[in-house]
Amino acid sequence: MKNSLIRGTLILTLAGLITRFIGFFYRIFLANFLGEEQLGIYQLVLPLYSICFTIYGAGLQTALSQLVSGSKSSRQNGIIKAALVLSISTAVTLSFFVFLKADWLAQKYFHEPQAASLLQILSILFPFCGISSMVNGYFYGKGNAKTPAISQIIEQLARVTFVVCLSMTHVLFMTPKELAVAGIVTGEIVACLFNIRCTRQVLKNKERLEKQDYKDLLKLSLPLTGSRLVISFLSSLESILVPITLRHYGCSSSDSLSFLGILSGVVMPFILFPSALTNSLSVLLLPSISKANSQGHTKTLRRQGSRSIKFSLCLGLLSLSVFANFGKELGLILFHSERAGTLLVLLSVLCPFIYTTTTMESIINGLGKTLSTMNIHLIGLAIRILSLLWVTPHLGPGGYLGGLILSQLVICIICIFYLHHKLTFRFYAGSSLILTFFFTYASIYTAHLLGNLLAEKTGFSYLVFVPLLFFLPGVLLYLARFNEIKWNAILPQK
């Protein structure tokens, strides 16, 4: 069981890294293909997708996994069929509602008429996504992480291939933003077909559905759905309020949507890209923390938690140094957007807080306090929404960015105090960590200056020289930080 859990975790982690890597370059393509304003409209409708999935899929998937893992094999077929009936019926209902009410939702909910056609296209995927989520939940319950991982990669590849290939034909039967949403639908349909093929033997089984299966699923899923729906709704509200409050400040509709598109579709994914490592660490850390907690090994909890947090913090400081020094150039070269580069520099300060918080939340979840992490997220969302309502109309984009940074800082501080309270957990940053940051920042800043100088002398892009300039000191620094090398074994002794 232990080896199966570790293997499954590693498979999902690898799949997550692959899809994030593909998605990273796809984001760059979308930013250039759609443009800032169209990207903003595209980003505007995605939160509704999240809300609908929460209703027809998220809670049911978790409930299905729990029931399958804890029931006899003879009952598992009936459970997945009951879950499919509930999910598909709910998804189809939502599909019809969103499709028929797309104009009303675009006007009243999103305050953007151009979103109507995107909502109609997006509504098509709900039943297919519902099927995939139930099949994945079934395999999670069986301890088989391979099938969901492959499905995840197939969905991403199908989406990217569809959009990129059609965009190159120059014979589009829809607008670029509609094509981007159609890519999401295509990816989900292809993944759904793969998932159906993987469960065809289970679905062919003529086992009779029982009312108890429905009752058990609803009993477990409704509380989960309710709590997640609150977060999904508030996240959606945050996205919708960004262009609305910016218009109150005095920005044009085009500028407001452009800001949302660049921030949500380009800058934040870029900042979060290195966090693939901390996300993987969190997935691997969760079962380890849970086991240590159940056995009462407090010292093990503290040791594992401290090391993980230090790693996340060091990665965050390194990312901060890179984005703060090269953000403007990255924005111009990759996204052809000066605004993207400026935002990347300003929001680079988020990296240490986000990466460290991800790890600390995993530790809290490992302690069995998932409700606490939800409450912490709600506090962060509340700060950002209040900054949109009270500050942004007066200060503009800077007001929201300030609220965004403040919310991450508050979340990080709450997590630190929570762990200190539960585990008498102490994390000492200390002078060594401060010196680590300044050494890293100075190295990368020097690389920035030398890269520009070498580029002027040779005619090559300075980005060619940057990795060579700070890769070696960075490697030495991190090896020393984690005691993989001993300086007294290298430096001459007196």
For residue 494, what pLDDT is reported?
Answer: 42
- Please work out, in degrees rounded to the nearest 5, the angle formed at the alpha carbon of residue 14 by the alpha carbons of 326 and 157: 80
For residue 392, what pLDDT is reported?
Answer: 95
Query: What percent of the chain has pLDDT above 90?
Result: 38
Q: How far apart are CA 404 and CA 23, in angstroms?
A: 23
For residue 459, what pLDDT is reported?
Answer: 56
For residue 374, pLDDT beyond 80: yes
Instruction: Give the CA distances from residue 305 to residues 189, 356, 358, 419, 435, in Å, rounded to whole numbers and listed in that order.
Output: 40, 11, 12, 9, 22
Cβ-proximal residues to 102 (8 Å cutoff; 6+ apart), any chain = 116, 117, 119, 120, 123
More confident residue, 230 or 460: 230
Query: What percent of the chain has pLDDT above 70?
Result: 76
Q: Please tell me the pTM assigned to this model.
A: 0.81
More confident residue, 150 or 492: 150
**For 172-219, how does the pLDDT look when each residue is reduced to its tens digit (9 = 90+)?**
678 899 999 999 999 999 999 999 998 887 777 666 667 888 888 888
> Which range among 45-49, 50-54, 364-368 shows the weakest confidence by mean pLDDT?
364-368
> Which range among 99-108, 241-250, 455-464 shows the weakest confidence by mean pLDDT?
455-464
Number of H-type helices and E-type strands within the chain: 22, 0
For residue 407, pLDDT beyond 90: yes
More confident residue, 316 or 161: 161
The DSSP symbol for 58 reads I
- What DSSP letter does each residue of 379-397 carry, written as one string? HHHHHHHHIIIIIHHHHTH
- What DSSP letter does each residue of 87-135 carry, written as one string? HHHHHHHHHHHHHHTHHHIIIIISS-TTHHHHHHHHHTTHHHHHHHHHH
Q: Binning pLDDT at 50, 70 and 90, where does residue 493 land?
A: very low
For residue 79, pLDDT beyond 80: yes
Q: What is the mean pLDDT of residues 354-381?
A: 86
For residue 320, pLDDT beyond 90: no
Cβ-proximal residues to 99 (8 Å cutoff; 6+ apart), any chain = 119, 120, 123, 124
Query: Do residues 291 and 341 lie in contact, with contact meaning Cβ atoms separated by under 8 Å?
Result: no
Q: How far apart are CA 408 and CA 239, in angstroms?
A: 17
Query: Do residues 349 and 405 lie in contact, with contact meaning Cβ atoms separated by under 8 Å?
Result: yes
For residue 43, what pLDDT is reported?
Answer: 92
Question: Which of 8-12, 223-227, 446-450 is modeled with the greatest confidence?
Answer: 223-227
For residue 366, what pLDDT is reported?
Answer: 74
**For 478-490, how does the pLDDT look when each residue is reduced to its tens digit (9 = 90+)?**
545 544 444 444 3
The mean predicted confidence, pLDDT, of the chain is: 81
In angstroms, how far is the first alpha carbon of the chain from the final one?
54
- Take residue 414 and report the two structure tokens written for it: 């709450």
Q: How far apart are CA 349 and CA 317, in angstroms?
A: 8
Q: How far apart are CA 231 and CA 307, in angstroms?
A: 30
Instruction: Give the CA distances from residue 328 to residues 264, 278, 332, 337, 402, in Å, rounded to whole numbers and listed in that order.
Output: 17, 25, 6, 9, 19
Q: What is the mean pLDDT of residues 295-317?
A: 77
Greatest CA span in the chain, whole angstroms? 82
Q: Which amino acid is at 17?
A: L
For residue 159, what pLDDT is reported?
Answer: 95
For residue 492, what pLDDT is reported?
Answer: 41
Q: Binning pLDDT at 50, 70 and 90, where does residue 456 land?
A: low
For residue 220, what pLDDT is reported?
Answer: 85
For residue 398, pLDDT beyond 50: yes
> Which range among 188-192, 240-244, 267-271, 358-362 shows the weakest confidence by mean pLDDT?
358-362
For residue 281, pLDDT beyond 70: no
Question: Which of 143-147, 194-198, 402-406 is modeled with the greatest confidence?
Answer: 402-406
Nearest residue to 345 via CA among 245, 448, 241? 448
Q: What is the mean pLDDT of residues 213-242?
A: 88
Question: Which of 43-52, 119-128, 215-224, 321-330 is modeled with the greatest confidence?
Answer: 119-128
Q: How far apart are CA 385 and CA 235, in angstroms?
A: 9
